[in-house]
Amino acid sequence: MTAADLDRTDLLVLAELQRNGRQTNAELAERVHLSASACLRRVQRLEREGVIRGYRAETDPERLGLGLQAFVRVQLREHDAASIAAFAGFVNQWDEVVACHALTGDMDYLLQVAVRDLEHFSRFLLDRLLNQAGVADVNSSFVLRTVKAFRGLPLPRA
């Protein structure tokens, strides 16, 4: 299924679920002007087709003791398939890395990292990232405040 296959009602369903994924099917159906059964069929189709990949709770990093967030740009020493696979394997094991993106440009990856404090970040950087992952260079930026948090993807217009 592609964006072209989504009709106006599908997009309304997706917008509502991105806004509040915990609402009941009856509440969702009312908001998108469908019967409960028709709404449920649409949601199930969107899930089956992979448009909706899952549901999760939005948590507060501060309340979880993760008061420091950073973005770390990473350049690998080697760029062969084995080095790239090894790096991906390490990153997927580290709980501190909440997102990792391969990039174009002078750095290879952008990691979003959530840790308790500067000491935790230092241990992560020295003991894990620089020590184990075939990394040639890193450049870190700490989050001072979040101006706009992720609120869902922009949806195409029907």
Question: Residues 117-141: what's their mean pLDDT?
Answer: 94
Q: What pLDDT does 40 receive?
A: 97
- Is position 76 within any domain? yes
pLDDT for residue 158 is more than 70: no
Percent of the chain with pLDDT over 90: 89
Domain span holding position 12: 3-48
Burial of 112 (0-12, 13-18, 19+ CB in 10 A): middle
Question: Residues 117-143: what's their mean pLDDT?
Answer: 94
Neighbouring residues of 145: CB distance < 8 A, sequence distance ≥ 6: none
CB atoms inside a 10 Å sphere around CB 115: 21
Backbone CA torsion sign across 86, 143, 58, 121? positive
CATH number, domain containing residue 88 = 3.30.70.920
- Is position 150 within any domain? no
Structure-model confidence comparison of residues 157 and 40, the more confident one: 40
For the chain, the average pLDDT equals: 94
- Is position 105 within any domain? yes
- The pTM of this model reads 0.86
- Is position 157 within any domain? no
- Is position 158 within any domain? no
Residues 76 and 33 in one domain: no
